[in-house]
Chain A
């Protein structure tokens, strides 16, 4: 971590530099955090209808009633969170594994058609998803008949091109020699992947995990389309149920949104040591 010239400046200079940095970061953070801040303080307001929202920057009141309102609104409130956890959890695990696997193959293994196949995968990212929704829906509902199941929610997101692309870009920095020497020592590709590549790729795996979980957790449109009953809906679909024609239960909606942010935060903090320690290639090599 010596991009910064730690040894050249005096101690005071370093402190001054870091103070300036912290101030700048704080200012920017203030701007980006504002909507979240408002979400959280509003969630402690009373569960009254939208007309009720008179926006104020300072919390006028502290009550957890909107939270209980949210959970009392539907007997399925907890179920929505559970469903989201199941779906996002499953999708995260499969993406971390299969994207790393495919990313490794695309960046380090030689096989015929590799470039072409990768190009085909990438091409898919360029098609706006709006247009694939109806054919996909037809496939799930009319062909596979799995609407309103976890399969319908999980399968289309099993592994995404974005994650494969991400994994491939990261793995390109792992020196090929490591794998070659492992091969010389008689490791099979499977062993190389599990014993060498995966430990070296913790950083990118953690990144994939958090991004995938977040994406899946926040997805609204697809779960909305393929679920038919309240007990199969995810938290995002449930949140939308809150909104009525002319009125919105603003505070409970914000309470729901706050609740829905919590699991992602837990995941973030449990994975974040990987971002920090980031078992780097250099560290292993050295």
Chain B
């Protein structure tokens, strides 16, 4: 492993403060795990419902530390060539044709498998960067199980092995952050290499501050009513509980409509913003006596 590098953050409080300065209000759990991930040099696996700010966290860490963000968006069928590196075949062919008859086979072979013909993909890019880097592997659960195997080497040792060139080790360890919506269980091997953070809905006070910082035009009393109502909605048995993103959207909607109180007429008219399933809206209306 490379020489010890200076940590990004000084203390847990420092994490919270610097994340807040770029507009991300972190709970104790978030601040502590980000601090530890940085200190212990381990990747951070963030799980949780959609819309609680998992991807946002990576962006904010990058912004707060002035690091570059390298993002690997996972999807079904993503493979080595998309995640790690690829050889530029077309260019290799050109090179071989150009050198025909003038060079020996050995020279050509050594040359076409060199740096110049390598197309780095996000993982390799993150490893080779010398500036501070945040590596975001987004929606890990969408990728196939085989990709997890690929990540193991990258995440535990921060190195990539290219058979033709040897092993490339990170000169500066990136801050790695993986997110998952838990549509499937990630493998134990991968989880063991990471610190685990379950990012749940924030508590009432934090959510209030988040909404206020995102939609500062709202009055405090309206935000309070919004947050209280959303928390009650989360307590119902719904197919999709509203998350922070929905609370913020709701706030924006009320603002756009010029409404400044949250009474039953308003809620009835705008419930569609927070509840995306028709059956959920019907259930909530019945339970909360909106009819």
A and B bind: no
Which A residues are closer than 8 A to B by beta carbons?
none
